Amino acid sequence: MIAKLAHRILENELAYDVFQTCVGSYKFRERYLESIEIEPDSKILELGCGTGISLNTIRDNEYVGIDLSMRYLEKASRRRDAVQLVNGDVSMSDSYHGINAKKDDVVLALALWHHLDDEQMHQTLRNIYQISEDGVSVYSLDPFFDEKTSISAKWVAMNDRGKNLRSSEHLKEISEAAGFHFSYQISRRELYIPTNVIMCKLVK
Ligand SMILES: C[S@@+](CC[C@H](N)C(=O)[O-])C[C@H]1O[C@@H](n2cnc3c(N)ncnc32)[C@H](O)[C@@H]1O
């Protein structure tokens, strides 16, 4: 009941940004993005870009964001001029019309996979595979739990809006089936609330 109400509130772009800031999630995104090697002339393709918080860290690179939510995209459009924002479903190939990724370009999927079911995640990765040159990397992060996760962190993960929490083995299986090389890291102390996060790197 409380979780459902919180999920409704988070559909509002302002509430979403306030919540993510308060739990330290945006600071974590900043650290994560700074840890990725992004060349000055790399294009960033962000899947499920939401309100475009990555634009606060990625200030100068060419940027394309795709998201289902028009409200979130409107917020993203106010963060920076000259970005390409697509209102579409990342699992549908027509959302990528005119978009490609060259070797040094970077694809981001931050807190997205757990919002997609297995078929949608597979289709999304196949779409990325089709539009990408060899060597393109996809960086993702998602809430996660395993046998080492505390009860409170597991509760937080289980009450997320995204209902497709996956083990590292499951993420590996879907990524490899779509043609990507898979590696991952788990972090248990990134946010101000108890949360475990799985960070994956997929390379074509
Ligand atoms: C938890 S939010 C993460 C937003 C952003 N990446 C961030 O880190 O703040 C998940 C986002 O994925 C978007 N989303 C979910 N399913 C999608 C789909 N099939 N196609 C495109 N966007 C989707 C939602 O609208 C939402 O903006």
Q: Using CA positions, which residue lies closest to atom 18 of ligand 1?
A: 89
Q: Tens digit of pLDDT for each residue in 119-149?
A: 999 999 999 999 999 999 999 999 999 999 9
- Nearest atom (ligand 1) to Cα of 16: 9
Cα–Cα distance between 51 and 72 in angstroms, integer? Answer: 4
**pLDDT for the residue 169:** 97
Assess if CATH 1.10.8.80 describes domain 2-203.
Answer: no
**pLDDT for the residue 4:** 72
Q: Using CA positions, which residue lies closest to atom 13 of ligand 1?
A: 48
Q: Is the CB of 111 under 6 A from ligand 1?
A: yes
- Pocket test of ligand 1: the residue of 23, 51, 57, 67 to mutate, having most ligand atoms within 8 Å of its CB, is 67
Q: Is the CB of 172 under 6 A from ligand 1?
A: no
Per-residue CA distances from 122 to 127, 139, 153, 170, 182 (Å): 9, 15, 27, 12, 14
pTM comes to: 0.92
Q: Is the CB of 165 under 6 A from ligand 1?
A: no
Q: Is the CB of 197 under 6 A from ligand 1?
A: no
| The two three-digit tokens of residue 113, written as one number | 């996979």
Over residues 8-17, mean pLDDT: 71
Would you list the domain boundaries of the chain?
2-203
Confidence of residue 192 (pLDDT cuts 50, 70, 90): confident
pLDDT at 103 over 90: yes
Q: Using CA positions, which residue lies closest to atom 4 of ligand 1?
A: 50
**pLDDT for the residue 2:** 64
Tell me the pLDDT of the chain averaged across its residues.
Answer: 91
Q: How many angstroms from the chain centroid is the CA of residue 9?
A: 20
Over residues 174-184, mean pLDDT: 98
pLDDT at 189 over 90: no
**pLDDT for the residue 125:** 98
Tell me the torsion sign for CA atoms 170, 188, 107, 41.
Answer: negative
Per-residue HEC secondary structure of the chain comes to CHHHHHHHHHCCHHHHHHHHHHCCHHHHHHHHHHHCCCCCCCCEEEECCCCCHHHHCCCCCCEEEEECCHHHHHHHHCCCCCCEEEECCCCCHHHHCCCCECCCCEEEEECCHHHCCHHHHHHHHHHHHHHECCCCEEEEEEECCCCCCCHHHHHHHHCCCCCCCCCHHHHHHHHHHCCCEEEEEEECCCCCCCCCEEEEEEEC
